[in-house]
Structure 1
Amino acid sequence: MQTNLANFIKHTPEGEEADTILRSCVHCGFCLATCPTYQLLGDELDSPRGRIYLMKQVLEGQSVTQKTQQHLDRCLTCRACETTCPSGVQYSRLLDIGREVVHKKVKRKLPERLLRFLLIKTLPNRYLFRPLFKLGQLFRPFLPAKLKKSIPSHTLKNKDWPTTRHSRRMLLLDGCVQPSFSPNINIATANVLDKLGISLIKAEKAGCCGALSYHLDAHQESMDQMRRNIDAWWPFIDKRTNSQPAEAIVITASGCGATVKEYGHLLRHDPAYADKAQHISALAKDISEILTLETNALATLFKRLGDKASTKLAFHSPCTLQHGMQIRGSVEKILSTAGFTLCTVKDAHLCCGSAGTYSILQPELSQQLLKQKIVALTSDGPSQLITANIGCLMHLQSGTSLPVKHWIEILDLTLDAGADPKTSDQ
């Protein structure tokens, strides 16, 4: 694709990156077949190829309208198009650049601005989100049916965090929404790793990964959150000052994982953080990646299970896991080895409609995608749905009466049930 970028962006780092991405697109249209919004709306401008044309026009200095912004807003950033693209077009990075430019040129209506401001200020801040979440639980009986389904009536912790007792240590990204909504996910992760001889530790000053703010065009605020996390984690991983540095940064929400793995890229022009960010990205691992590396130790645990893990499960692979981090089949292999029966899920590559704050900002499209996903997940008769991202978990639970859990919770409970009492405390 030939380009002629406007002077306002031509010689900037963003402009150079956008130019490279635009030139890699060959207009083949393969992306249309896997784009959820194009499948729903049938509009070329609601496909990756159409949005690329729109962003090209914007970056070349043509007029920008609210219609342009609407088509970009409708994108889920699911990145299924990147998996499909034979040319390796880095669509999501182009979208981040294009959205930020459009955000500066098109003023949103006041209700939109207010809603986005509230999302940026509350969801990433666990000290604000937690009391609001508790308030939602208190008034849950009076909420609309759809909202009521997405808020659990109680969030009791099944277990306590295991004591730090192993020489092998890993850091955890605790997250912002997850500790309030589903605290057992991280506890289950710590318990599974504890059984494998790894202690999972928290950096108390770490917080939101920055994904939510970044995708709502608050780039500077997002990068400040990234820098705060790097500062919080650094004492635990710096080999010069720590005799037992953490081996990895374990992430249980794939949406966060996809972002932390890009810290190195997003902060590459920051002289104070570029090298540290690169190191953080290299250490960031989804919990499925960690368990895949611990195959032998995990196999020993699985031998004790017998027939206790015969539950039939349907796994929803989040877009950030399969398209963002390009991790496919790892969770399924772990669960199958543990003895679970996994259902066949039609169109597993398609988004469930959660997509961060998409379900709030684009409720109509989000609900259509949710209904399709629930049909696909339940058609083979599972007893439970599982996923790997807290946003997907909350969204899926709002659309079904079946329980929805993070897969690591199921694995932890199963390992506990099959543990040998004589060896479980060693």
Structure 2
Amino acid sequence: MKGFRITPPRIIALSYFGIALLGALLLELPFARHVPVSFTDSFFTSASALYVTGLSTVTTSTTWTPFGDAIIALLIQVGGAGITFVTTSFYLLMGRKISLGARMLIAEDRNFGVHGVVRLMKAILTFSFAFEGAAALLFLLYFRFVYHYTWARAIGISVFHSISAFNNAGFDLWGNSLESFTNDPFVLILTSLLIIFGGLGFIVLVELYNFRRTRILSLHTRIVLRVTAFLLVIGTIFILLFESYASMRGLSWPDKILNAWFMSVTTRTAGFDSVSVGKMKEITWFIFIILMFIGASPGSTGGGIKTTTFYTLIKTALSTARGSTEIVVGERSIPQEQGQRSLVIFLLAIAVITGCTMIDAALEPGIRLMRIVFEEVSAFGTVGLTTGITGIVNTPVKWVLIFTMYVGRIGILTLLISLVQRGQSKVKRIPERILIG
């Protein structure tokens, strides 16, 4: 096609679709499923796993065989690390050099800078295997000797759950997420730690690991840690406030605090639930929508507009209100173009969610709008929480949700850039003020 160039954003956009299609075809194999499944449901499951979301139109534990579960776990691992990272990791393992083109792909896919990308790839490998391996071992021993699972079941669930939790995917093999572990601090705390570390971003993990030696944290890492802590605490408080005498009425206060904390953590992009979301109040759903929309941090396994985007938006608004053109953070300042980029991401995210919600509402008029909004934000933020409508929506709505998950995973700017030709006009235009506000 004339004028069509193969660029990193386009390769990424096509790769995430292609791998999801391949995963769906594998799930369509007779020995991958216990019961007949439509191609739409297979593709939905594959896409949800690859885009580390966790929404599912079928029950994972009863629909898929161990082979199907393994395919889902592999898709989650690939999606969490990034497709381009996985493909180029083989070069590292074989001791071969990574080309500049491959570095640019990884940088675009993981939202990194090109400089130091190989070092970050090695860190991703190390941290992923370390966190998932250690957690899988702890879960294995716990499920084997406390819950008396067979060794085969304990190994399968421990490995699958560790991969799903660290990559913020939200898939489970129990059939009711973690609602069977409402009173189990070990499972909820260890799972929440995996979710948090997976959602911080690998750049942050590297800096925290090196902090004892360097005693230095970048502005990015400090912002991520502050915003993450703030959102976790404020989310826990609101959940306790609205649900202590509602969905969590029968729990002791220590368990209420534990489950409020866990739900605040998982809402950020993981998608597990220890208390049924469908039984919660609409005001709690609204709080969840805000947390899901913000999501995790850049370069992490999670989605959403990202913590740094949210922070930059707030700081930009405050600077504008003060009449300043400088976005000041302590002794540093954030470049204006990053403030503009944050605003673009925010507005495009709102546009995608609004558009898809309107389509869903037109296709499923019998479902309350609040539930549809919740589902779309959950899909865009690659969260996976649901009020209970994922499995009952019609086929067209399922494809709309797949599209929303796709946009949320690859990044709305990556999709936009992949669809349009970038160019800069040489024509200089005369500026003219208009009335604002």
TM-score computed with the length of structure 1 as normaliser: 0.27
Higher relative helix content:
2
TM-score computed with the length of structure 2 as normaliser: 0.26
Instruction: Choose between structure 1 and 2 for higher RCO, CA contacts under 8 A separated by at least 6 residues.
Output: 2
Higher relative strand content:
1
